[in-house]
Chain A
Amino acid sequence: MIAVYLILLISFVGMVVLGILGNQSRASKINVWFNAATLVVSLILALVVLGKGPILSADKLFYIDAFNVYLIVLTALVGLTTSVFSGPYMENERLHGRLTDRRLQLYYSMYQGFMLAMFLVLTTNNMGLMWVAMEGATLATVLLVSLYRTPEAVEAAWKYFILCGVGIALALFGTILLFVAAEQLQGLGSDGLNWTVLFERAAELDPAVIKIAFVFLLVGYGTKIGLVPMHSWLPDAHSEGPTPMSAILSGLLLNDALYAVVRSKMIVDKSLGTDEAGILMMGFGMLSFLVAVLLLSRQQDIKRLFSYSSIEHMGMMTFAFGIGAPLATFAALLHMTVHSLTKSAIFVTVGHATQIAKTQQMEKIRGIVSTQPGVGWALVIGTLAIAGFPPFGVFVSEFLVLVATMKSYPWLTLPLLFGIGVAFAGLFGKLHPMVYGPAPKGQQAVEANMFPVYLHLVLVLWLGLAIPAALSGWFVQATQLISGGAPF
């Protein structure tokens, strides 16, 4: 249990320390060290939970089980690798005069603030506190989206703030309704917002209230997942903010919002005894997936292209969790992991590519492979991986989603296959001219630390070839928790 407090404490101290020292040149190194520390602690926490089972803190505020512990490790890992990348990247931006020292200070401090909010969302047992942390994540990132102070960036940040603020207000209303339902039971008192209590006594909760509560929770947190039609902040915020932000927004924030929805769904399913919640999620998921793949091929900005790809994948995960069968849940958990790893790797690479080409417009990005092979090939491989090409992990999880859909709702595999095909064509049509061919005159390589990218891509490849026994055991445990059955 100490590990949980330690993770939160490290991020908090990091936020304060970097708030003071963030303008110095060693700030990026300090940021990396704080993230490395959380990764180490989260690995220890994972080992403890794997060995001993779920742990609940004495004050019942924190609860760690197989489902959230793997997301904690994933969050810490992506947080670390992105901070490794962000050092040279932000330094380069500063040298080009896009950032001042004070904005860098804000950036580093809020990076840790965001990590703190993410860890709090994942570790807390209190649905109300989860909401507070989720709103905290918005607050931490909103000023980072407008970090460059261009009119576009300010507009994107404003949109992000208003849409997510209002959206998440609906989730709070849903949370209050959950509490209203819990207050009808005897002897709960202020424990009525604790997930463990709600889950344990879900069958006694009034189904009518729970049903309304879930609609609000899904729409509210769905705004953060980027579900259509509440998605319009996502491409803007990703394309206008600094690239490390895009990487952690796509890799972490979306996942954690989905985590909040799935936690709510577990209570709702047990309370209703039907799959109504699942059907709602399938509907939203499928809609997001299809709209995103269709919009994807129309993009001209490289970061917008990949943010639509994020909406596509989040839609697919929401859909898979909605199916609710053990195999689908297993696939969705795996997809969360591989998407998070791949997408953050891609955004890191895209960040370097845009610094090489000095633009985000895809028609002006040319010949990356010949200018800087490390970046160019990483972009090719990352895009292959995210498009669901074998032997990468995304292929495996998408394949499992398809198999699960085939079993439960056979006719829905058709739109899924269509969407995957369109996304594939959209991504590759744009990628090819960007990486191959001659480079424009005067295009120079930039200082880049490609280690995080390779690490992520190797992990994704490994997950595609063979999922390590420990990890698959972990996924199976989480699947059993969520869907009540073993996937295989």
Chain B
Amino acid sequence: MDIVHPDHYPQLITLLASLIIFTTFMMLAQGKLLTLINLFSLQGLLLAGTTAMVALITGNHHLLISAGLTLALKAIMIPWLLRYLVVRMRLHREVDPVENPVQIMLFGVSLVVFSYYVTLPVVQLSTLATSNMLAVSLAGILLGMLLMISRKQAVTHVVGFMTIENGLFFSAVVSTHGMPMVVELGIAFDVLVASVIFGVFFFQIRDSIDSLDVDKLNRLREETE
């Protein structure tokens, strides 16, 4: 197959985008922490693949560096770190239950539709064949947020947070051919530091409430007299 063919390239990108959204939906429905982390790793892999493909086809070779960074960070390092922490804290059998799965799925679907609606003016403007992928990436961001608000485990929150990052990165790659290099590097650095700090936090939270259920972090509220 000739992937440089004008019809094939958008199709391939669309395929990868739908796979990325699909992994996000799988995460929304997945309660087992280790499986969740594996799904996240798979998403990172898809993201790196997309970036590499865009780099090769459009000839923006600096994107190859971003692809490498994504592969190293999102597909290998962060999932490894999370897995290590989960095993170390003996949470590997832990299930973060999905409450009301049907409602959450339906809400997720409506978020995707909403993203298409919001990005409509941008899609009409852009000359890039892949511009309607902006809707997909916005959907990824919103679904990441949904993952965070529908769960209780700190680990799930971190995965949700990183899913949001993935959505942002995807939007930068497909709708702009990548941000300037200095910005890309800066963002990668921030993500790296954030994941380390999350690791530190797991221990701090466990020391203070003896679990990673962030719903129990409820001491600070507006007091009602």
Report whether A180 and B190 are in contact in the complex, using a CB–CB cutoff of 8 Å.
no
* Whole-angstrom distance between the Cβ of A113 and the nearest chain B Cβ: 10
Interface size class of B (residues with CB under 8 A): 35 or more
A142 at interface, CB cutoff 8 A:
yes
Considering the complex, which residues of chain B in the window 203-221 have a beta carbon less than 8 Å from any beta carbon of chain A? 204-205, 207-209, 214, 217-220
Cross-chain contact of B179 among A142, A169, A193, A212 (Cβ < 8 A)? A193
Considering the complex, which residues of chain B in the window 164-211 have a beta carbon less than 8 Å from any beta carbon of chain A? 164-165, 168, 171-172, 175-177, 179-183, 186-187, 189-190, 193-194, 197-198, 200-201, 204-205, 207-209
Nearest A residue to B164 via CB reads A169
Give Cα A180–Cα B204 distance, bound, in whole angstroms: 40
A201 at interface, CB cutoff 8 A:
no
Give Cα A150–Cα B207 distance, bound, in whole angstroms: 9
A135 at interface, CB cutoff 8 A:
yes
Report whether A158 and B217 are in contact in the complex, using a CB–CB cutoff of 8 Å.
yes
Give Cα A126–Cα B185 distance, bound, in whole angstroms: 13
Cross-chain contact of A166 among B125, B126, B164 (Cβ < 8 A)? B164
B122 at interface, CB cutoff 8 A:
yes
Give Cα A74–Cα B119 distance, bound, in whole angstroms: 39
Contact code string A123-149 (vs B, CB < 8 Å = 1, else 0): 000101101110110010011001001
A445 at interface, CB cutoff 8 A:
no
Nearest A residue to B192 via CB reads A139
Report whether A128 and B180 are in contact in the complex, using a CB–CB cutoff of 8 Å.
yes
Report whether A126 and B182 are in contact in the complex, using a CB–CB cutoff of 8 Å.
yes
* Given known contacts A151-B219, A176-B176, A298-B223, A158 and B201 CB-to-CB distance under 8 angstroms: yes
Contact code string A440-465 (vs B, CB < 8 Å = 1, else 0): 00000000000000000000000000
| B interface SS class | helix
Q: Which residues of B contact A165 (CB under 8 A)?
A: 161, 194
Contact code string B128-145 (vs A, CB < 8 Å = 1, else 0): 000000100010010001
Q: Which residues of A contact B86 (CB under 8 A)?
A: none
Nearest A residue to B173 via CB reads A176
A91 at interface, CB cutoff 8 A:
no
Q: Which residues of B contact A236 (CB under 8 A)?
A: 220
Give Cα A209–Cα B164 distance, bound, in whole angstroms: 21
Report whether A143 and B222 are in contact in the complex, using a CB–CB cutoff of 8 Å.
no
Cross-chain contact of A169 among B141, B201, B217, B220 (Cβ < 8 A)? B141
Report whether B125 and A129 are in contact in the complex, using a CB–CB cutoff of 8 Å.
no
Report whether B186 and A149 are in contact in the complex, using a CB–CB cutoff of 8 Å.
no
Report whether A159 and B217 are in contact in the complex, using a CB–CB cutoff of 8 Å.
yes
Report whether A193 and B180 are in contact in the complex, using a CB–CB cutoff of 8 Å.
yes
B103 at interface, CB cutoff 8 A:
no
Give Cα A158–Cα B200 distance, bound, in whole angstroms: 11
* Whole-angstrom distance between the Cβ of B152 and the nearest chain A Cβ: 13
Considering the complex, which residues of chain A in the window 174-208 have a beta carbon less than 8 Å from any beta carbon of chain B? 176-177, 179-181, 183-184, 190, 193, 206, 208
Cross-chain contact of B180 among A126, A151, A166 (Cβ < 8 A)? A126
* Whole-angstrom distance between the Cβ of A187 and the nearest chain B Cβ: 15
Give Cα A177–Cα B157 distance, bound, in whole angstroms: 26
Q: Which residues of A contact B148 (CB under 8 A)?
A: 162, 166
Cross-chain contact of B190 among A61, A126, A136 (Cβ < 8 A)? A136
* Whole-angstrom distance between the Cβ of A341 and the nearest chain B Cβ: 28
Report whether B222 and A295 are in contact in the complex, using a CB–CB cutoff of 8 Å.
yes
Across chains A and B, the number of contacting residue pairs, with CB separation under 8 Å, is: 138
Q: Which residues of A contact B183 (CB under 8 A)?
A: 126, 128-129, 131-132, 193
B6 at interface, CB cutoff 8 A:
no
Report whether B171 and A298 are in contact in the complex, using a CB–CB cutoff of 8 Å.
no
A25 at interface, CB cutoff 8 A:
no
Give Cα A177–Cα B135 distance, bound, in whole angstroms: 12
Give Cα A142–Cα B183 distance, bound, in whole angstroms: 22
Report whether A143 and B197 are in contact in the complex, using a CB–CB cutoff of 8 Å.
yes
Nearest B residue to A142 via CB reads B197
* Whole-angstrom distance between the Cβ of A192 and the nearest chain B Cβ: 8
Q: Which residues of A contact B154 (CB under 8 A)?
A: 158
* Whole-angstrom distance between the Cβ of B73 and the nearest chain A Cβ: 15
Report whether B168 and A172 are in contact in the complex, using a CB–CB cutoff of 8 Å.
yes
Give Cα A206–Cα B127 distance, bound, in whole angstroms: 13
* Whole-angstrom distance between the Cβ of B219 and the nearest chain A Cβ: 5
* Whole-angstrom distance between the Cβ of A126 and the nearest chain B Cβ: 7
Report whether B176 and A180 are in contact in the complex, using a CB–CB cutoff of 8 Å.
yes
* Whole-angstrom distance between the Cβ of A219 and the nearest chain B Cβ: 12
Nearest A residue to B191 via CB reads A135
A424 at interface, CB cutoff 8 A:
no
Nearest B residue to A152 via CB reads B219
A256 at interface, CB cutoff 8 A:
no
Cross-chain contact of B172 among A135, A136, A176, A190 (Cβ < 8 A)? A176
A155 at interface, CB cutoff 8 A:
yes
Give Cα A298–Cα B183 distance, bound, in whole angstroms: 43
Q: Which residues of A contact B200 (CB under 8 A)?
A: 143
Q: Which residues of B contact A157 (CB under 8 A)?
A: 201, 204
- B118, B207, B214, B219: which has the most chain A beta carbons within 10 Å? B219
Q: Which residues of A contact B177 (CB under 8 A)?
A: 183
Report whether B225 and A151 are in contact in the complex, using a CB–CB cutoff of 8 Å.
no
Report whether A180 and B126 are in contact in the complex, using a CB–CB cutoff of 8 Å.
yes
A436 at interface, CB cutoff 8 A:
no
* Whole-angstrom distance between the Cβ of B212 and the nearest chain A Cβ: 11
Report whether A162 and B176 are in contact in the complex, using a CB–CB cutoff of 8 Å.
no
A312 at interface, CB cutoff 8 A:
no
Report whether A176 and B190 are in contact in the complex, using a CB–CB cutoff of 8 Å.
no
Report whether A173 and B204 are in contact in the complex, using a CB–CB cutoff of 8 Å.
no
Considering the complex, which residues of chain A in the window 323-362 have a beta carbon less than 8 Å from any beta carbon of chain B? none
Give Cα A169–Cα B187 distance, bound, in whole angstroms: 11
Q: Which residues of B contact A179 (CB under 8 A)?
A: 172, 176, 179
A154 at interface, CB cutoff 8 A:
yes
10 additional A-B pairs beyond A132-B183, A169-B168, A239-B220, beta carbons within 8 Å, are A128-B182, A129-B183, A132-B190, A154-B201, A154-B207, A155-B217, A166-B145, A176-B168, A176-B176, A190-B180
Q: List 9 A-B contacts (CB under 8 A).
A: A126-B180, A135-B190, A143-B197, A150-B208, A154-B201, A172-B187, A206-B125, A209-B121, A295-B222
Interface residues, chain A, with chain B CB atoms under 8 Å away: 61, 126, 128-129, 131-133, 135-136, 139, 142-143, 146, 149-152, 154-159, 161-162, 165-166, 169-170, 172-173, 176-177, 179-181, 183-184, 190, 193, 206, 208-209, 211-212, 236, 239-240, 295, 298, 300
Which 6 residue pairs are nearest across A and B when measured between Cβ atoms? A128-B183, A132-B186, A208-B121, A151-B208, A190-B180, A155-B217
